[in-house]
Amino acid sequence: MQKALQEKIARFTDAEQVKNLGLYPYFRVISSEQDTEVMIKGKHVLMFGSNSYLGLTNHPKVKEASINAISKYGTGCAGSRFLNGTLDIHVTLEERLARFTGKDAALLFSTGFQANLGVLSGIIGRKDYLIFDECNHASIIDGGRLSFGNVLKFSHNSMADLEKKLKRLPGEVLKLIVVDGVFSMEGDMAKLPEIVAIADKYGAGIFVDDAHSLGVFGENGAGTAAHFGLTDKVDLIMGTFSKSFASLGGFVAGGFAVIDYLKHHARSLLFSASMTPASVASALAALDLMENEPEHMERLWLNTEYARDLLLKEGLDIGNTVSPILPVYIRDNTKTFLLTKYLLEQGVFVNPIVSPAVSSSDSLIRLSIMATHTFSQIEEAVTKISQALKQIAK
């Protein structure tokens, strides 16, 4: 191996240090379906780290749709949407998503990450400005990096800072405010009504990443803009299928013209293979369930309120969450790792969020609630978290 590469690799010791302490919490191998209970190393473990908010990854109708799509279309499209990789079901899903989000048109990508990369770098050019919340997802940050434009960051949910940044910019240039609808670590929401007012004042466009809001907020789970009744004020709504939609892939929805522009400028769409038939079909089946069976979303909220109340009763610090993402702030990296390991031993899977994803003083374990959790699973998890925290404090 080249010496410089060897040296670079040798300098990366963070993971090794955590492994040496026996606390490494990543790449845990699951040998079952993504359900409220999973199998890890032959043991049943309660799953509180899954983004399958509506619990549809193993719904019989979703599985069946996927299997039928493989029977009809095979396992892959062997090409990009632009060339040989557009199936009739890709177009159907795009039309359905446009209607679902209240927009003219939609465009599928192979992942949500690729949607953000392609859309943001496709729109923001040299003289343009992308202004984003500092807690936005990594794919938005990377989309900004890939663009040749000017990227500005504002303090989390600080409307004063957003306005300060916009005030300084020239009047006529393209300015796009980009926010997560629901923030993936903290579980709080973007202040969309205020953002809309500021965007109007300074002539900026708005892009909302609704990865964690679709299936969760708005009528039938149509997302953040629908929740606030501001669909017409948001230019672009981005979503992923890796959460409530129980599949893999992503999309962006907007006006006809901007979607057509992106069809010819988003490089992660043009130069990457299209979504597999099975992924499209499972997303379509999940969308059917969202539109026709509101009980999944209702159950998700019942569970979320139940878990939230129990965590608060235990005196735990859950920050400003208003969603099924329930952070428990530990505010110390090592303790967060310890707690995650201890909980897994007790049969509860949670995700540790430590620096650099958040600053060490904001480190947390994140519980994600699913519609399919039972109250007794939630009680067990909260009791074990509380006990584990007492154990660690000793």
Active site residues: 184, 212, 243
Judged by CB, which is closer to ligand PMP: 153, or 335? 153
| Stretch 157-196: interaction string toward ligand PMP, x if CB under 6 A | -----------------------x---x------------
Q: How far is the CB of 187 from ligand PMP (least distance, A)?
A: 11
Residues 6+ apart with CB under 8 A from 77: 84, 85, 86, 87, 273, 274, 275, 276, 277
Q: Are strands 325-329 and 364-368 parallel, antiparallel or unpaired?
A: antiparallel
CB atoms within 10 A of CB 14: 9
Return the number of the residue (180 or 235) whose C-beta is nearest ligand PMP.
180
Question: Cβ atoms within 10 A of the Cβ of 20, count?
Answer: 10
Using the structure block, give the residue that is written with the tokens 């209607």. Answer: 99
Taking the complex as a whole, the smallest distance from the CB of residue 223 to ligand PMP amounts, in Å, to 12
**Which residue's Cβ has the minimum distance to ligand PMP?**
112
Cα 336 to its chain centre, rounded Å, is 22
Least Å from the CB of residue 332 to ligand PMP: 24
Q: Are 278 and 83 in contact (CB under 8 A)?
A: no
User: Is 126 in a helix, a strand, or coil?
Assistant: coil
- In terms of Cα–Cα distance, which of 379, 199, 220 is closest to 298? 220
Complex with ligand PMP: residue 227 or 384, whichever CB lies closer = 227
Q: Of 37, 104, 68, 76, which Cα lies nearest the Cα of 261?
A: 104
Size of the site for ligand PMP (CB under 6 A): 14
Min CB(250)–ligand PMP separation in Å? 5
DSSP 65-118: HHHHHHHHH-S---SBTTTT---HHHHHHHHHHHHHHT-SEEEEESSHHHHHHH
Among 52, 66, 231, 242, indicate the residue that binds ligand PMP (CB under 6 A). Answer: 242
Member of 57, 147, 224, 240 binding ligand PMP (CB under 6 A): 240
Quote the least distance from Cβ 6 to ligand PMP, whole Å: 31
- Do 181 and 174 meet the contact criterion of CB atoms below 8 Å apart? no
Number of H helices, E strands in the chain: 15, 13
Question: For ligand PMP, which is the closer residue by CB, 248 or 381?
Answer: 248
Closest CA to 89 of 105, 66, 117: 66
- CA-based nearest residue to 90, from 234, 273, 268, 212: 273
> Given candidates 63, 137, 308, 341, which one binds ligand PMP under the rule CB under 6 A?
137
3-state SS assignment for residue 333: helix
Q: Name which position in 66, 139, 247, 351 contacts ligand PMP (CB under 6 A).
A: 139
Q: By CB under 6 A, is residue 52 in contact with ligand PMP?
A: no
Considering only residues 193 to 222 of the shown chain, the ones binding ligand PMP according to CB under 6 A are: 209, 211-212
For ligand PMP, give the closer residue by CB, 94 or 209: 209
Among residue numbers 80 through 119, which ones bind ligand PMP (CB under 6 A)? 111-113, 116
- CB closer to ligand PMP, 211 vs 253: 211
Q: How far apart are CA 57 and CA 53, in angstroms?
A: 10
Residue of 118, 250, 254, 352 interacting with ligand PMP (CB under 6 A): 250
- Give least dist CB 35 to ligand PMP, A: 19
CA distance 195 to 180: 12
Closer to ligand PMP by CB, 59 or 137: give it.
Answer: 137
Chain contacts with ligand PMP (rule: CB under 6 A): 111-113, 116, 137, 139, 180, 184, 209, 211-212, 240, 242, 250
